[in-house]
Amino acid sequence: MNSKALRNCITKTDVPDYPEPYRGKVRDVYELGDKKLGIVASDRISAFDHIMKQAIPYKGQILNSLAAFAFDKVDELVATHVIDVPHPNVTIAKKCDPIPIEVVIRACLTGHAARVYKSGKRTLCGVVLPDGMAENQKFGEPILTPATKAEEGHDEDISEKEILEQGIVDENIWQEVREKAFKVFERGQQIANKQGLILVDTKYEFGLYNGEVTLIDEVHTADSSRYFYRDGYEERLKKGEPQKQLSKEFLREWLMDHDFQGKKGETLPDLPDEFRIKVYNRYTELYEKLTGKSFKPTPIDMEKFNGELKKILDRY
């Protein structure tokens, strides 16, 4: 990692001659016509629903490549939005009508689920949780804990019953979504397991493409999922120690150590260069661990990148 890479992070793209993209927290999404999207994964990183002021070198490439790897592994189980991955930062995707639910599957009592459990509640999104569970313990079977995709701010928990009662998703479509989500999760667990990891929880997004239920956005990446190291998991669980995680959790912890939890009145701290490199190393570690391949960054020159993107998107 050199200072040139730190200076050439993709914080924002502006492809000449293309209409302003939809800018998500991480991706810039270009409309290509013919029901296609050019999705550019930037190096922006978010936590607590805030985009950090500094970006992480090559994070977009790692994320997009990891998603491409995972999409490829599940495409016999579900239709995916991927048409092509012409550059490590870019996915050409089918433009779908998004289903406005975050389909969260959890294998362990971790994160939000653990916080709810600690508060004494024994139901989460309509799912009854057994008594006497320890944080990070595995459920008997993975559970589905959906959330609404809120327009602004935090996503809210919702039960499957409420999704249907409120008519947010048609019943037949929802049945297919939940069935596919569990299958894709199972495959994700197998892949993780082979590499010595535990897929702890993940978030899927689905959309409809010509009426077909299609997996969109990103799959089994560091931004959408949590992984634990399998080695030593049981011992740590028994001792009540924190698990060795591969996820964005360490960024959240760093922010909390710097008095930031995304609440009103708090100031977003600057990420020092050494920390940005650390985050890069963590993302690389997850990529290499999960895919079994080494990560070779494609250098970016921000003076030229928008022009290169134009050439790529023009092909579709």
Ligand X SMILES: Nc1ncnc2c1ncn2[C@@H]1O[C@H](COP(=O)(O)OP(=O)(O)OP(=O)(O)O)[C@@H](O)[C@H]1O
Measured CA to CA, the distance from residue 136 to residue 45 in angstroms comes to 25
Residue from 52, 59, 81, 88 that binds ligand X (CB under 6 A)?
81
Structure-derived torsion over alpha carbons of residues 159, 161, 166, 167, reported in degrees to the nearest 10: 110
60 is a contact residue toward ligand X (CB under 6 A): no
Instruction: Closer to ligand X by CB, 11 or 137: give it.
Output: 11
Strands 225-229 and 138-144, sheet pairing: unpaired
Q: Residue 39 Cβ, how far from ligand X at the closest point, in Å?
A: 6
Measured CA to CA, the distance from residue 137 to residue 131 in angstroms comes to 12
The H-or-E segment that residue 296 falls in is: none
Closest CA to 200 of 182, 185, 218: 185
Q: Which region among 94-102, 110-118, 120-128, 270-278 touches ligand X (by CB under 6 A)?
A: 94-102
205 is a contact residue toward ligand X (CB under 6 A): yes
Q: Residue 209 Cβ, how far from ligand X at the closest point, in Å?
A: 8
Q: Residue 7 Cβ, how far from ligand X at the closest point, in Å?
A: 23
Measured CA to CA, the distance from residue 117 to residue 109 in angstroms comes to 8
Instruction: Closer to ligand X by CB, 6 or 51: give it.
Output: 51
Measured CA to CA, the distance from residue 194 to residue 182 in angstroms comes to 19
Q: Residue 221 Cβ, how far from ligand X at the closest point, in Å?
A: 10
Measured CA to CA, the distance from residue 304 to residue 308 in angstroms comes to 6
Encoding tokens for residue 191? Answer: 């892949």
127 is a contact residue toward ligand X (CB under 6 A): no
Instruction: Closer to ligand X by CB, 133 or 268: give it.
Output: 268
Footprint of ligand X on 30-59 (CB under 6 A)? 37
Q: Residue 95 Cβ, how far from ligand X at the closest point, in Å?
A: 5
Instruction: Closer to ligand X by CB, 55 or 93: give it.
Output: 93
24 is a contact residue toward ligand X (CB under 6 A): yes
93 is a contact residue toward ligand X (CB under 6 A): yes
Q: Residue 70 Cβ, how far from ligand X at the closest point, in Å?
A: 14
Residue from 15, 27, 125, 181 that binds ligand X (CB under 6 A)?
27
DSSP secondary structure, 120-172, as one string: T--EETTEEPPTTPPTTPEEEEEEE--EE--SSS--EE--HHHHHHTTSS-HH
255 is a contact residue toward ligand X (CB under 6 A): no
Point out the residue whose Cβ comes nearest to ligand X: 24
CA angle 82, 56, 80 (to 5 degrees): 10
Residues 6 or more apart whose Cβ sits within 8 Å of residue 222? 62, 63, 66, 246, 247, 248, 282, 283, 286
Q: Residue 126 Cβ, how far from ligand X at the closest point, in Å?
A: 24
Cα→Cα distances 315→149, 175, 310, Å: 32, 37, 9
25 is a contact residue toward ligand X (CB under 6 A): yes
Q: Which region among 13-21, 25-33, 106-114, 290-298 touches ligand X (by CB under 6 A)?
A: 25-33
217 is a contact residue toward ligand X (CB under 6 A): yes
Interface with ligand X (CB under 6 A): 24-27, 29, 37, 81, 93-96, 98, 205, 207, 216-217
